[in-house]
């Protein structure tokens, strides 16, 4: 299209100050029609490409492997009834990991002392709403019994994810009738461990969040 004609069209549309009538029919989420794939295999491959780790099989045994690799230490966790593996919290405690208090006081001095104590937290244990095979991402919602700090503060983030909740992409997840995120104040997509690059283009892991991400598929 000629540049002058295009700009003239823009000026005319702006002068009218009117948005064209939209269709009264909501088409809903637009999900591409793609050939079937092994979602678990794709998710695992892509997550490992971005420096994440995937564990399959017995979830408690996978926790054993994580603690054996990094050592026992204080951990933050979602509440037991918010995790898809009910015995996970107790199992970490049996392995010598002490559970840190997630609730923060509203008193300034106590709040500051509590936040300073986060520096000792070693492991964060959470569930996950869904996983996306195309990007190796997981989705977390914070809320009652699901503290945000469990996935932000620790050196090692361990997420428990049912394999049945792995979708091809975010749009495939959002198109599901039971997916409702409008009522949540905090929904986070996580792709691998925290990473940043400095002015010299050196990639660093764990600067603004966990240095390790382990996803345990159940």
**130, 186 Cβ separation under 8 angstroms:** no
* Ranges of the chain whose pLDDT falls below 70: 1, 18-20, 22, 28-29, 198-199
Q: Which helix (H) or strand (E) holds 40?
A: helix 39-49
pLDDT of res. 117 = 77
Q: Tens of pLDDT along 94-116?
A: 999 999 988 877 888 887 887 77
As a 3-state breakdown, the chain gives helix, strand, coil percent values, each rounded to 5, of 35, 20, 45
What is the set of domains in the chain, with CATH numbers?
36-217 (3.40.50.10420)
Residue 170 · residue 213 · CB < 8 Å? no
**pLDDT tens digits, one per residue of 63-100:** 999 999 999 999 999 999 999 999 999 999 999 999 99
Residue-level pLDDT at 154? 94
Convert 126-149 to b/e letters by CB count within 10 Å (16 or more is b). bbbbbbbbbbbbbbbbbeeebbbb
Radius of gyration of the chain (CA): 22
């Amino acid at each position: 299209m000629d540049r002058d004609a295009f700009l003239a069209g823009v000026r005319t549309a702006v002068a009218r100050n009117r948005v064209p009538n939209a269709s009264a029919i909501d088409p809903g989420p637009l999900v591409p029609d793609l050939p079937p794939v092994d979602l678990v295999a794709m998710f695992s491959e892509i997550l490992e490409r971005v420096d994440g780790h995937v564990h399959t099989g017995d979830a408690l045994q996978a926790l054993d492997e994580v603690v054996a690799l990094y050592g026992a230490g204080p951990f933050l966790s979602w509440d037991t009834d918010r995790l898809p593996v009910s015995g996970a919290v107790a199992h970490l405690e049996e392995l010598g990991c002490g559970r840190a208090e997630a609730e923060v006081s509203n008193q300034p001095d106590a709040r500051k002392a509590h936040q300073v104590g986060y520096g000792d937290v070693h492991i964060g244990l959470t569930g996950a709403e869904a996983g996306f095979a195309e990007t190796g991402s997981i989705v977390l919602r914070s809320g009652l019994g699901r503290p945000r700090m469990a996935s932000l503060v620790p050196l090692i983030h361990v997420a428990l994810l049912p394999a049945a909740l792995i979708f091809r992409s975010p749009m495939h997840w959002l198109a599901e009738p039971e997916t409702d995120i409008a009522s949540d104040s905090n929904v986070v997509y996580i792709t691998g461990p925290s990473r940043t690059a400095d002015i010299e283009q050196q990639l660093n892991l764990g600067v603004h969040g966990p240095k390790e991400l382990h996803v345990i598929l159940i």
